[in-house]
Amino acid sequence: MTPSHILYIPMIALIGMFIGFVLGARAARNSYDLERKRDEERAAARAERERKKAEKAEKAATAAPAGKDAEA
């Protein structure tokens, strides 16, 4: 083993750690962005369901008095 290995091996290890840090940070950022996008889509879907539910309840509320008058 030559003396150059004393510098070569730690330098390669440092380069590997740096590349791993960069790639790991990118993966974490992509994961966070995907999670945020999913949360926004779920919120939009939830709002759409609530809107449809409110419309259905409104239609039922307006139709109910007419039905009661027809029976009486």
Kindly tell me if the per-residue pLDDT of 11 is higher than 80. yes
Radius of gyration of the chain (CA): 31
Confidence of residue 64 (pLDDT cuts 50, 70, 90): low
**Across the chain, what does the average pLDDT equal?**
88
CA distance 39 to 28: 16
pLDDT at 60: 85
Per-domain boundaries in the chain:
33-72
Confidence of residue 68 (pLDDT cuts 50, 70, 90): low
